[in-house]
């Protein structure tokens, strides 16, 4: 079993927030691979299905924690314990301030860079889960971070947001095969980050939201 969790806040008022890009990615994985239906389980919206890989079908559980961002670990931890899934088989899609808008990186373990969703999951299952880091850029000043991540994407950003989520979905079988480098390469090939002003968020300070 592979658990793929997208991070966000529940409810219509947050649906298009930058902080909710993890939910958007998991929704697209469900759509592309016909995984569902969504059910209330593990303090989440949860959907079980399979990803078709070169080695055959792999079971997957998609999660959108309904605990609000800061308590995401309660949901992910409950599902991981139920299925006896090790952290290495948990993939978390989340917004990343320290990557330019539209950039993507996948890594295992590491710090939390002020991200309260990652902090909660790390406390629940340990730090060695896989982080699918979806760049949203940085507002430039630490004091602006909270409002920035809880504001909606601009209409002009809709193209790259949609392309990145779809690329993650198309490449998802590689996650089930444990081919993380190939997954990252595939995603960045399918959805190159937008060029103009793309590097502004690369070196900004970590966020707190």
Spot the catalytic one: 19, 94, 115, 138. 19
> Residue 121 forms beta bridges with which residues?
none
> Residue 91 forms beta bridges with which residues?
4, 130
- Concerning whether 33 is annotated as a catalytic residue, the answer is no
- CA quadruple 112, 114, 120, 124: dihedral positive or negative? positive
Strands (E), the chain: 2-6, 39-41, 44-53, 56-65, 90-96, 104-108, 130-135
Residues labelled as active-site residues: 19
């Amino acid at each position: 079993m592979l658990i793929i969790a997208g991070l966000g806040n529940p409810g219509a008022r947050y649906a298009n927030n930058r902080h909710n890009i993890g939910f958007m990615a998991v929704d697209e994985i469900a759509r592309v691979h016909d995984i569902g239906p969504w059910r209330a389980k593990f303090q989440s919206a949860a959907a079980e299905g399979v990803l078709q890989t070169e080695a055959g079908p792999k079971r997957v559980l998609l999660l959108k924690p309904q605990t609000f961002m800061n308590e995401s670990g309660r949901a992910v931890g409950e599902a991981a314990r139920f299925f006896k899934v090790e952290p290495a088989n948990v993939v978390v899609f989340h917004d990343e301030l320290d990557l330019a808008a539209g950039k993507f990186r996948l890594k295992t373990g590491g710090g939390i860079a002020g991200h309260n969703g990652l902090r909660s999951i790390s406390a629940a299952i340990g730090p060695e889960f896989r982080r699918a880091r979806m760049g949203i850029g940085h507002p430039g000043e630490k004091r602006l971070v909270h409002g920035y991540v809880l504001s909606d994407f601009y209409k002009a950003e809709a193209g790259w947001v949609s392309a990145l989520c779809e690329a993650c979905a198309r490449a998802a079988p590689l996650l089930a095969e444990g081919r993380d480098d190939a997954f990252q390469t595939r995603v960045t090939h399918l959805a190159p980050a937008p060029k103009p002003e793309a590097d502004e968020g690369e070196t900004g300070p970590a966020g707190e939201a």
